[in-house]
Amino acid sequence: MDSIKNSLREILRYPSAIFGIVVILMLVALAAYAMIAVPYNEAIRLWRGGEEIWYQNPKFAAPAWINFFSSKKLPESFAVNTVNGTMQKTVTPGAEGTGTVDIAYTFDFTYDDFPQEMFLYFTTKFTEKQPFVSIVWLTPDGREIRIGSFGINQKETYRFSQDDKLKLRLKDENVMQGLFIDPKTKEIVKGKYQLAITGVTFEEGSQIDVEFVSHGLVFGLAGTDHARRNLVLPLLWGAPVALAFGLIASFGVSILTMLIAAIGTWYGGWVDGLIQRITEVNLILPFFPILIMVGTFYSRSIWVIMSVTVLLNIFSGGIKGYRAIFLQVKESMYIEAARAYGASDSRIIIQYMIPRMIPLLIPTLVSSVPSFVFLEASLALLGLGDPVLPTWGKIIEDASVNGALYKGYYYWILEPAILLMFTGLGFAMLGFALDRIYNPRLREI
Amino acid sequence: MAVDTQVPSEGVKIEKSSFVNNAFMRVARYTAVRLLTLFVTVVVGIYLTINIANMGGYVDEIMKASIRENVTQKILANPANKNMDTETRKGLIVKSIALEEKKMGLDTPVAVRNFRYLSNALVLKLGRALNMSSDHGSREVRLIILERMPATLLLMGTSQLFLFFTSIFFALALSRHYGSFMDKLVITLSPTSAAPPWFYGIFFILIFAAIFKILPFGGIVDAPPPDNVAEYGFSVLKHIILPGSSLVISSFFLSIYNWRTFFLIYSSEDYVEMAKAKGLPPKDIERQYILRPTLPTIITSFAFVLISLWTGAIITETVFLWPGLGRTLYTAVGLYDTPVIIGSTIISAYLLAITVFLLDFIYALVDPRVKVGSGN
């Protein structure tokens, strides 16, 4: 207990270690939050979902907070609905089962650019006679623009920008521009806009419901990608995936390497020889090409890739380093004593030899985490990421495939990149500090 | 590595001629054993790679299917076969497919063919690519690799050699001014090497190509390439800055840190203290008391840098659209082009084996304490 306290006190003397620990704790918290807030199956369903899930979001929208840093305010996205009451709806019954439905939504528009597109999703109930709606757009300066009047089916989508009649009426090819500018000054009119829909139903029990969706140019905390997906989801879920991949791979590699080196040195003879030969053969094998081959030919599952990574990394240069130290440990007095009182081979290896190596193991383990986290991202960048899981690497791949750098969607690459960088830095800095604490030879230097 | 320090007393009383003889025998025996083990290592490594690259025979299925389709298409499209009746035509198709498969060697079992691949690879008969071709249209794996090599050597050569020598240079300076501000700065910055080159590459592209538009996004030369040699060189220079500096920056600080620590360990040796006490100039101390004993390590490290030039940087080349070997290898994997994958693996395997072999002798040359083949 005291030794743990001591080493903890020692660690806290290094600012870089504190930084590392804080970053790692934050990542763990983020990962835990991700797993609680969006359960695994839900995350996969959302990540793999198409238009039917993400239709409310714009494509390629930057995060909403960039408005704070820019003098040009970009319109935000919103979606309102008569079903959940975010949009007002009043029904007035008329004669012979007919009814009038008044739907109105008033919103403040104080931005300096136009939305990407606006939609109306109608859902109606009727048996024979279609309900009929007419839509009116009221601008802050008191103009009233007739959008359209039409009968609607059970499900009907109205896209403002694709209405050719509306284009004629607005005398503008760009409907969004036509709706938001003053036709004389050609400047954006800011203030309260109202969308008013008047519907008529012709049957008993006939209903009209509307969802009004406006795709702005900015969206939410993290923006959206080419498939309208909210980037918060993969950014959140990238944390547990990266941590799991990095930690499991580095634990697996470090501990197995050490165990194999210990077994080799303890038994010596052909066991040692075999391990040495395998290490040499492994040096010849091209590590990254093999990973690419496994990803292309066999499976892109993150667990398969991780197993291959661990397997190829066990017999690496690290084994020689451990071997050199184990050879010294093997000759020490306490091992001889253990042998004299008849301790078994496995007992000597696991209880006497390996614990001696822990100070050396921990820094290596921590500092090798980033390389595995980045390995996952590298494979994803080559299109060999797990096809199911949302990961940081996958976001970068999507972004680079869709030309984010050329088209200026910088947020798309920067968000996952910054998270990756923090993860890498956190573990690397802690690893560095641990290395200096556990290897006193470095501490003097 | 079977290199060990020689116990000085050994062989003192032995006659000179027999000593020379002994030494020769020892070196010869050592060389033979070493070459044999290295060769076996290469063989096993290549055989494993071949098996992986062949997907345990699955690549055959892909190739057979494409042969069947091509041959059938060709025979059906040939006007000379128009008047043939269906039966004969079918027979012709079957025969042609068999012939084509035989030509590709697909009539022999995978296991046998893997050995044929192996023996061909070992004598550097790299054969013909299945799907890829060089820019001049050749299918020869040798030509494909030779065509891509200059680009890789240019990028990796400039960046890795620059990295190697500047980091040693800086490390030496830092080890002299240990504890200074620069020293602390390098220590603080060394965790930045946790990120791979492509990661910095993306940032560089974003800053210099996308925002400031002063350097190109990727590629090796402007399109169309300038005719003038000087302009061509300048264009290549402009294109190499970003990939080159991302390769350098991603290992720069860690590399300096490691060398600095290494030099510091050596400069705290007693004989260095002694030299300082004698009042030798720092230049001499550096050259003769620090660099000299660390020479074997520096040479080893340099040798591995040279090997790494060959393999190229797969992702960095892909991110920067650099037409080098790394990207070719990646494309080859995507096209199931086994000969290209094996070709590039065998060459790096040989280079590695030769380097490891030569290093033993170089150690003996630069370090008088080391004798080739002594020890166990």
Is the pLDDT score of A307 beyond 90?
Answer: yes
How far apart are alpha carbons A435 and A362 in whole angstroms?
8
How far apart are alpha carbons A241 and A232 in whole angstroms?
14
B136 assigned to some structural domain: no
Structure tokens at A112: 């300096």
Kindly state whether A371 is in contact with chain B, defined as any CB-CB distance less than 8 angstroms: yes
**Percent of chain A's residues with pLDDT above 70:** 98
Query: Between the CA of residue A146 and those of A159, A166, A177, B215, B262, what are the distances in Å?
Result: 15, 8, 15, 51, 79
Question: By CA distance, what is B354's nearest residue in A?
Answer: A284
B261 assigned to some structural domain: yes
The pLDDT tens digits of the residues spanning A136-188 come to 999 898 888 888 888 888 888 888 888 888 888 888 888 888 888 888 888 88
Please give the helix or strand (H or E) that residue A265 lies within, else none.
helix A232-267
The pLDDT tens digits of the residues spanning B282-321 come to 888 888 888 888 888 898 889 888 888 877 788 999 999 9
- Structural domain boundaries enclosing B167: 141-366
pLDDT of residue A440: 67
pLDDT tier at B262 (50, 70, 90 boundaries)? confident
Rounded to 5 degrees, φ, ψ at A192 are: -90, 120
Claim to verify: residue B109 and residue B248 sit in the same structural domain: no
- Interface test with chain A among B54, B198, B328, by most A beta carbons within 10 Å: B198
How far apart are alpha carbons A131 and A153 in whole angstroms?
8
Claim to verify: residue B217 and residue B310 sit in the same structural domain: yes
The pLDDT tens digits of the residues spanning B170-207 come to 998 888 888 889 988 998 888 888 899 999 999 999 99
Kindly state whether A269 is in contact with chain B, defined as any CB-CB distance less than 8 angstroms: no
User: Residues 281..300 of A with a Cβ closer than 8 Å to B: which?
Assistant: 281-286, 288-290, 292-294, 296-298
B248 assigned to some structural domain: yes
The pLDDT tens digits of the residues spanning B105-137 come to 777 777 787 888 888 888 888 878 877 888 888
Residue in B346, B362, B353, B274 with CA at minimum distance from that of residue B117: B346
Claim to verify: residue B291 and residue B216 sit in the same structural domain: yes
- Are B41 and A294 a contacting pair at CB < 8 A? no
Q: Which residues of B touch A297 (CB under 8 A)?
A: 52, 55, 58-59, 336
Contact by Cβ (8 Å): B132, B331:
yes
Claim to verify: residue B157 and residue B250 sit in the same structural domain: yes
* Domains along the sequence of chain A with CATH: 2-46+230-438 (1.10.3720), 73-215 (2.60.120)
Q: Which residues of B touch A432 (CB under 8 A)?
A: 187, 190-191
- Interface test with chain B among A381, A421, A445, by most B beta carbons within 10 Å: A445
B7 assigned to some structural domain: no
- Interface test with chain A among B330, B344, B357, by most A beta carbons within 10 Å: B330
Domain boundary among B62, B95, B122: B122
Kindly state whether A433 is in contact with chain B, defined as any CB-CB distance less than 8 angstroms: no
For A268-301, where are the alpha helices, taking DSSP H only?
A: 269-284, 287-293
The pLDDT tens digits of the residues spanning B206-260 come to 999 988 989 998 888 888 888 889 999 999 999 999 999 999 999 999 999 999 9
B133 assigned to some structural domain: no
How far apart are alpha carbons A380 and B318 in whole angstroms?
13
Claim to verify: residue B203 and residue B81 sit in the same structural domain: no
pLDDT of residue B10: 45
Claim to verify: residue B51 and residue B93 sit in the same structural domain: yes
How far apart are alpha carbons B366 and B293 in whole angstroms?
9
Claim to verify: residue B175 and residue B205 sit in the same structural domain: yes
Residue in B180, B152, B120, B154 with CA at minimum distance from that of residue B338: B120
The conformation of residue B6, written as its DSSP 8-state character, comes to P
Question: By CA distance, what is A400's nearest residue in B?
Answer: B319
Question: By CA distance, what is B188's nearest residue in A?
Answer: A16
Q: How far apart are the first and last CA of chain B?
A: 10
B345 assigned to some structural domain: yes
Claim to verify: residue B105 and residue B177 sit in the same structural domain: no
Claim to verify: residue B51 and residue B167 sit in the same structural domain: no
The pLDDT tens digits of the residues spanning A345-380 come to 889 888 888 888 888 888 889 989 999 999 999 999
Domain boundary among B122, B156, B177: B122
- Interface test with chain B among A283, A284, A368, A442, by most B beta carbons within 10 Å: A284
B250 assigned to some structural domain: yes
Q: Which long-range contacts (CB under 8 A, 24 or more apart) does B229-237 make?
A: B236/B154
The pLDDT tens digits of the residues spanning A173-183 come to 888 888 888 88
Claim to verify: residue B151 and residue B114 sit in the same structural domain: no
Q: Give the largest Cα separation in chain A, rounded.
A: 105
* Domain count within chain B: 2
Rounded to 5 degrees, φ, ψ at A139 are: -95, 160
B82 assigned to some structural domain: yes
Claim to verify: residue B285 and residue B189 sit in the same structural domain: yes
- Residue from the list B37, B58, B349 with its beta carbon closest to the beta carbon of A297: B58
Q: Which residues contact A119 (CB under 8 A, 6 or more apart)?
A: A55, A157, A158, A159, A160, A211, A212, A213, A214, A215
pLDDT tier at A1 (50, 70, 90 boundaries)? low
Is the pLDDT score of B3 beyond 50?
Answer: no
Task: Please tell me the pTM assigned to this model.
Answer: 0.86
pLDDT tier at B9 (50, 70, 90 boundaries)? very low
- Residue from the list B188, B196, B348 with its beta carbon closest to the beta carbon of A16: B188
| Mean pLDDT across chain A | 88
Query: Between the CA of residue A193 and those of A80, A106, A210, what are the distances in Å?
Result: 14, 6, 18
Domain boundary among B61, B95, B122: B122
| CATH number for position B206 | 1.10.3720.10
Claim to verify: residue B168 and residue B301 sit in the same structural domain: yes
